[in-house]
């Protein structure tokens, strides 16, 4: 409840929704009072009241004067269209995901749809649980970010159930290859290519790349990174490509970066002079690795991130990075899904071309 990137009332709303969706609070059960919720989560009464108002408007709570607030499960009235759309992402409150969610939420609300949110924490088990929860209630459609998309789809049966029930869905950032559904994504291969080419054009010849490869975004970015080197006839030493998984993201890339930057026994020119990073979050972590090695960014080490997140401009050295549409993607995903629900519209994949944003973390080498 302490993440500042999503409004507190929305964080509380998702927590209380999880109580209702998981059965912790059954329909008809009395809800804790505003005072009790306020004390439990350390939030103001005003924030709790705003959250209760949202849940009541969406049909999850019912206030009975003189008795209290009671849980209910919105059900489809006979002849009434379900007006609820679910969003399942790997994360909700972290990094670029609040922007995607806000964009989708604004569009859905303007069209009269409720929004249900769930996150998988990038685990297949939680993806299964999220799909089960979402489909256990009346649902108009789903926006899904696949979990560890490079590692297959053990939850295929749940996606086939969606198709069998006639529930439209689309995917964002990537999609499972065997599924025929629209996908809104960035051209990750192009982004990896642009990053490496930009550094090569700036005179760098010893560039290391760091890529999270349990998702297809990272695989695409790595492919583009290698393609740029191949185009220039420059080989990439195996130790200058670092791949890692979600569980390893906090330590393995950092350790490998330090190892590369401290390899002073080799000729000076063979120490990497630049890093291409899977995303901005990693780029900031590797800035710390450079500092541990007594190196300055960008004077001694150039860095490029990905996603043009709020982190890119938050550090002392503003980060050169590649764009991700974020809010625009959320809005477009909601519009497409509503079109699928209301008009039976068919959509091709939407691929956003990333643009390189030049800031302060890259210098030209002679």
pLDDT tens track for 66-99: 677 888 765 544 444 558 999 999 998 888 999 9
1 has pLDDT over 60: no
User: How much of the chain exceeds pLDDT 90, in percent?
Assistant: 66
Q: Which residues contact 323 (CB under 8 A, 6 or more apart)?
A: 307, 308, 352, 354, 355, 356, 357
300 has pLDDT over 80: yes
pLDDT of residue 276: 98
Calpha distance 291→302 (Å, rounded): 13
Alpha-helix residue ranges (DSSP H) falling in the chain: 8-22, 34-41, 45-57, 97-110, 124-135, 156-165, 188-201, 216-231, 252-261, 280-292, 327-343
* pLDDT classification of 202: cutoffs 50, 70, 90: very high
2 has pLDDT over 80: no
* pTM score above 0.75: yes
CA dihedral 89, 195, 349, 328 (to 10 degrees): 60
Asked if residue 59 lies in contact with residue 72, where contact means CB atoms within 8 angstroms, the answer is yes
Calpha distance 77→231 (Å, rounded): 61
Task: List beta partners, residue 356.
Answer: 322
- Average pLDDT value for the chain: 89
CA dihedral 59, 61, 66, 67 (to 10 degrees): 130
* pLDDT classification of 268: cutoffs 50, 70, 90: very low
Comparing C-alpha atoms, which of 272, 365, 258, 276 is closest to residue 320? 276
258 has pLDDT over 90: yes
Asked if residue 83 lies in contact with residue 112, where contact means CB atoms within 8 angstroms, the answer is yes
Pairing of strands 302-304, 274-277: parallel
Calpha distance 366→353 (Å, rounded): 30
* pLDDT classification of 3: cutoffs 50, 70, 90: very low
* pLDDT classification of 305: cutoffs 50, 70, 90: very high
> What are residue 87's phi and psi, to 5 degrees?
-125, 125
In three-state secondary structure terms, 143 is: strand
């Amino acid at each position: 409840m302490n993440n500042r990137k999503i409004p507190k009332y929305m964080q509380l709303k998702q927590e209380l929704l999880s109580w209702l969706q998981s059965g912790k609070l059954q329909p008809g059960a009395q809800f804790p009072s505003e005072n009790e919720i306020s004390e439990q989560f350390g939030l103001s009464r005003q924030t709790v009241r705003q959250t209760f108002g949202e849940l009541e408007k969406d049909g999850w709570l019912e206030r009975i004067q003189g008795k209290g607030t009671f849980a209910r499960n919105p059900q489809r009235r006979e002849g009434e269209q379900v007006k609820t759309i679910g969003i399942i992402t790997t994360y909700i409150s972290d990094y670029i995901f609040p922007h995607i969610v806000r964009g989708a939420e604004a569009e859905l609300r303007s069209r009269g749809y409720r929004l249900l949110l769930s996150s998988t924490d990038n685990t297949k088990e939680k993806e299964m649980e999220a799909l089960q929860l979402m489909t256990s209630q009346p649902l108009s459609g789903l926006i899904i970010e696949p979990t560890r998309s490079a590692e297959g789809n053990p939850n295929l049966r749940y996606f086939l159930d969606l198709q069998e029930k006639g529930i439209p869905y689309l995917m964002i950032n990537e999609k499972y290859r065997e599924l025929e559904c629209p996908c809104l994504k960035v051209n990750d291969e192009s982004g990896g290519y642009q990053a490496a080419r930009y550094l090569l054009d700036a005179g760098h010849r010893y560039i290391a790349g760091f890529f999270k490869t349990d998702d297809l975004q990272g695989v695409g970015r790595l492919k583009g990174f290698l393609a740029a080197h191949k185009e220039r006839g420059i080989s990439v030493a195996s130790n200058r490509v670092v791949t890692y998984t979600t569980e390893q993201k906090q330590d393995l890339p950092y350790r490998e970066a330090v190892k590369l930057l401290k390899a002073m026994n080799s000729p000076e020119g063979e120490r990497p002079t630049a890093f291409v990073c899977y995303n901005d979050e990693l780029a900031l972590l590797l800035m710390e690795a450079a500092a541990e090695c007594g190196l300055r960014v960008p004077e001694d080490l150039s860095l490029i991130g990905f996603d043009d997140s709020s982190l890119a401009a938050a550090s002392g050295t503003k980060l050169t990075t590649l764009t991700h549409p974020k809010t625009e993607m959320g809005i477009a995903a909601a519009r497409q899904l509503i079109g699928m629900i209301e008009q039976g519209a068919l959509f091709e994949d939407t691929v956003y071309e990333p643009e390189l944003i030049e800031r302060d973390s890259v210098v030209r080498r002679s």
